[in-house]
Structure 1
Amino acid sequence: MGKFKNILFWFRQDLRVFDNVGLWNAIEDGENVLPVFIFDEKILDRFPQNDKRLGFLKDALIRLDSQLQEKGSRLYSAVGDPQKLLPQIVKENNIDAVYTNRSYGPYGTTRDTNIKKSINAEFCQFEDFFLVKPENVPVRKVFTPFYKQWKNVFEFSGILNIDKKISTMSTSLSTVVDYLDKFDFENLWDVHEGDNILKNFDFCNYENTRNYPFQDGTSKLSPYVRFGLVSIRQVYDAIQKSNCDNDVFLSEIAWREFWNHIAINFPWTENLEFLEKRRGLDWLNEEKLFEAWKEGQTGYPLVDAGMRQLKQESWIHNRVRMVVASFLTKDLLIDRRWGERHFENYLLDYDRNVNIGNWQWASSVGADPKPMRIFNPMLQSQRFDPECKYIKKYIPELENYHPGQIHNPLRYNLSYAKPVVDHFERSKIAKNIYNKQNIDI
């Protein structure tokens, strides 16, 4: 006999059956479980038309429906505002409890609070998104002490495997597949690939390959974690099974949790720079330069290759993310918020808290402060793409150029675009802006 007769499980950033904490608890506690995904119009409206990420979401939901069918159930869907829809669904289906995994974004937390008050049923949330609950780590402003505390309190609880059928009550809701049949979105990413990466990725060599964009040295797990196609515990389990020194990859997971830690404990950083001395900087914000950056036409090949990769693949290599962010803020002298919004429009692995944290860090205004660092895009390409394999992949116009020419766009005339600014001159101006000194351009 279950704790509740009818439980609605609300899928969100956890589009999988395996190792899903909230779903596992719903099946344990409910005689019947109704799996539901709601197409939130407030979120969908933020997607550009024909956004490739909607294709990924579509395929992910079809995959989830298939997983549920293996357990004797289906994934049902509704379209609209969850704050209005859930009370209706609860009432019409005699739901005793709504189970879901905890959300941490500002919109999600407010939404969930409102729903909890408006439904005539229990509202139960579970921790599925992090390895360590945010409240279990003392407040820290710098990553290294956070990471030490984080590792001290973390205890791996293992992987949850749902090994029994899901009993689902009848409902008037449509299956998610019926709704998705209306759309023909393009998707460049295989939604099944996350499991293959966990099995085959070389975690042991990650430290040696992660900075070189021409190599397949990063895992590309972030989109699968972002949509919940694999759990963060599965990633940790795969790291441990690699049986090698994997602290560098583990720290990447911790960075993701650190930026959420900052957002939760210092919520004002959503709109305000973490460092007080770096607020109100006198950005130049030239639209023409911003357009050149967005389109990969700055005349600095590594920057442009990264921006073109972002538009083509909805993803960008981690090292190159830092380079393009530094270039926007330190060379083009454009407010990092412009970059945040552009990444929000394209990144498949977009996470609001992580995106804000990374952009604040790259623009030297955020938590975990370091001495102001300006990436030289020419030295970065020489060091991390010496043969220009990455650059030529995304800028085919440079196919017949020698690497020595490509790495020195201020000296050699590259036919695809002339440098929009002089890196060395703009670096001097950036230092004045960051020191809040008067500038004359």
Structure 2
Amino acid sequence: MPAAPSVALFTSDLRVHDNPVLNAASKGDGGVVPLFVEDDGVRATGFAAPNRRAFLADCLTDLDEALRSRGGRLVVRTGDVVEQTAKAAAAADARDVHIAGGVSAYAHRREERLRRALEADGRRLHVHDAVITALAPGTVTPAGRDHFAVFTPYFRRWQAERHRDVLRAPGRLRVPDGAGSRPVPRRRDVPGVSPGLAAGGETEGRRRMTAWLRGPLDRYAQRQDDLAGDATSRLSPHLHFGTLSAVELVQRARKAGGEGAGGDAFVRQLAWRDFHHQVLAARPSAAHADYRTRHDRWRRDEQEAEAWRTGRTGYPIVDAAMRQLAHEGWMHNRARLLTASFLTKTLYLDWRLGAAHFLSLLVDGDLANNQLNWQWAAGTGTDTRPNRVLNPLAQAKRFDADGAYVRRWVPELAGVPGLEGGAVHQPWKLSPAAARAKLDYPEPVVDLADGLARFKRARGGD
């Protein structure tokens, strides 16, 4: 009896290197159907934002090329992911379907629906852990609880845990006859993309990873918060789409960084990503509800919210970050923290408003990291100091002392006499008043002291 083929259902693991899903599905002599479904359910949630669709198109094009170089090809379907996967499995007479485990409520529902549909047709679903994260959610837990709610004890256990081995990319692949496919989507067909959006795909991700590990990693601990220096890896989009393996990146960073501070600091950031995934896996409602309620009664002020979205708050460091987001579909992590703090604690506007805007633009936006980082900044998440406020002027002085980041992204303040160096962070101090009037730049939407006092009143003290 000939061996039956299997289906490798790609989700957030768009790579051939170190992919347990593709590795397991391609074992044996029956062949493999490498399948990606342009999921109606994802589009219905509003998660298919233009920047992520464009980056996804790059990833799928590159994945198809990688599979073809091995004798295979990517099979693309459109529609309901369960219906299309079941049809693809039936057409190939595949007995087994392999998929990476997800952490969101939607991913959990998808797995259960898919399992029921396949079992009803005599087929099996195999869910693989540690494909999207370095350590699978639930691998380490505190006594008596299903997840860690504080990062530091989680990180200690995470560091001590043995991560799985890195898998080689498969050699030759064979796709069974009859696996019909739609054309692979192309970036040029996606409207509304940020003009500075980076290229996607495993080839680009691995190029960036190699360049990062060969030098900049060494200086990461000293430079990670330097806004103008842009000294972060920019690998987050590749981790989000799975064009890079978190397991491989952790292992290679540890080896490249040795015992140095750069490698340690970078690996710690990768552990934060895993931490947020294990929180969301245990508490899927944290995607939209307070993880720890502070009983906030958030203000509503659309004018202030729009000033924040468009980078017109009157605080140059905040505005620079928001304009970088609009242009690149990406933002420096330090800038994400200070813009989130400004919205939630200086303006006292709902974190969900900010999280939604970030998800509309961020190429690396996913529910675990985006929503839980926003909750951390808002004080409704896992931060052990929920009432901390990041003062944008203090942040600017510390992380953009000479104003280079602001002048790059707020060009109307560049080259203005009297706003040289760090003075660019407080344009309202420019003298005389006639000079200020000539600036095409708004006055601050709120006084920082007033915003802080309002926040403290709302939270009932410090």
**Do the structures match in fold with TM over 0.5?**
yes
> Aligned runs of 1:182-197 on 2, under 5 Å?
183=189, 188-191=197-200, 192-197=203-208
Q: Match of 1:312?
A: 327
Contact 1:207 1:249 in 2 (8 A): yes
Q: 1:431 to 1:228 in 2, by over 3 A?
A: same
Give the drift of 1:129.
Answer: 1.3
Number of residue-to-residue matches in the alignment: 432
Q: 1:432 to 1:133 in 2, by over 3 A?
A: same
Give 1:389's match in structure 2, choosing from 404, 423, 448: 404
Q: 1:30 to 1:296 in 2, by over 3 A?
A: farther
Q: Match of 1:140?
A: 148
Task: Pick which of 91-100 and 307-316 moved more.
Answer: 91-100
Q: Match of 2:433?
A: none
Letter of the structure 2 residue corresponding to residue 381 of structure 1: A
> Aligned runs of 1:15-34 on 2, under 5 Å?
15-29=14-28, 31-34=30-33
Q: Deviations over 1:136-177 (max 9, x none)?
A: 211321111111111122x13332113421121012512543
Q: Match of 2:124?
A: 122
Structure 1 position 220 matched with structure 2 position 240: no
Give the drift of 1:432.
Answer: 0.6
Q: Match of 2:160?
A: 152
Structure 1 position 169 matched with structure 2 position 184: no
Structure 1 position 405 matched with structure 2 position 423: yes
Q: 1:164 to 1:194 in 2, by over 3 A?
A: closer
Contact 2:13 2:243 in 1 (8 A): yes
Q: Deviations over 1:207-252 (max 9, x none)?
A: 1111011012100000011011111122113212222332211110
Q: Match of 1:419?
A: 444
Separation in 2, partners of 1:271, 1:174: 35
Separation in 1, partners of 2:106, 2:287: 12
SS in 2 for 1:273: coil
Give the drift of 1:180.
Answer: 4.3
Task: Pick which of 262-271 and 143-152 moved more.
Answer: 262-271
Separation in 1, partners of 2:383, 2:51: 33
SS in 1 for 2:227: coil
Letter of the structure 2 residue corresponding to residue 271 of structure 1: H
Give the drift of 1:272.
Answer: 2.6
Q: Match of 1:366?
A: 381
Q: Match of 1:75?
A: 74
Q: 1:70 to 1:26 in 2, by over 3 A?
A: same
Give percent identity, aligned residues only. 30
Task: Pick which of 84-93 and 6-15 moved more.
Answer: 84-93
SS in 1 for 2:38: strand
Contact 1:8 1:35 in 2 (8 A): yes
Separation in 2, partners of 1:156, 1:169: 34
Separation in 1, partners of 2:247, 2:183: 27
Q: 1:249 to 1:404 in 2, by over 3 A?
A: closer
Contact 1:16 1:230 in 2 (8 A): yes
Q: Match of 2:245?
A: 231
Give the drift of 1:57.
Answer: 1.0
SS in 2 for 1:144: helix
Separation in 2, partners of 1:215, 1:312: 18
Q: 1:130 to 1:49 in 2, by over 3 A?
A: closer
Contact 1:336 1:363 in 2 (8 A): yes
Q: Match of 1:258?
A: 275
SS in 2 for 1:133: coil
Give the drift of 1:75.
Answer: 0.3
Give ranges in structure 1 of 5+ residues lacking alignment: none
Task: Pick which of 406-415 and 301-310 moved more.
Answer: 406-415
Contact 1:314 1:347 in 2 (8 A): yes
Q: 1:182 to 1:297 in 2, by over 3 A?
A: closer
Q: 1:269 to 1:182 in 2, by over 3 A?
A: closer
> Aligned runs of 1:289-368 on 2, under 5 Å?
289-368=304-383
Q: 1:217 to 1:160 in 2, by over 3 A?
A: same
Contact 1:199 1:238 in 2 (8 A): no
Q: Deviations over 1:48-84 (max 9, x none)?
A: 8981322211111110000001110010111011122
Contact 1:409 1:419 in 2 (8 A): no
SS in 1 for 2:138: helix
Contact 1:410 1:422 in 2 (8 A): no
Separation in 1, partners of 2:222, 2:84: 49
Q: Match of 1:431?
A: 456
Structure 1 position 209 matched with structure 2 position 223: yes
Give the drift of 1:34.
Answer: 0.7
Q: 1:174 to 1:275 in 2, by over 3 A?
A: closer
> Aligned runs of 1:99-118 on 2, under 5 Å?
99-118=98-117
Give the drift of 1:103.
Answer: 1.6
Letter of the structure 2 residue corresponding to residue 225 of structure 1: L
Give the drift of 1:29.
Answer: 4.2
Task: Pick which of 134-143 and 426-435 moved more.
Answer: 134-143
Letter of the structure 1 residue corresponding to residue 159 of structure 2: K
SS in 1 for 2:169: coil
Q: Match of 1:200?
A: 211
Contact 2:378 2:386 in 1 (8 A): no
Q: 1:419 to 1:368 in 2, by over 3 A?
A: closer
Separation in 2, partners of 1:182, 1:224: 20
Contact 1:101 1:125 in 2 (8 A): yes
Structural RMSD (CA): 2.2
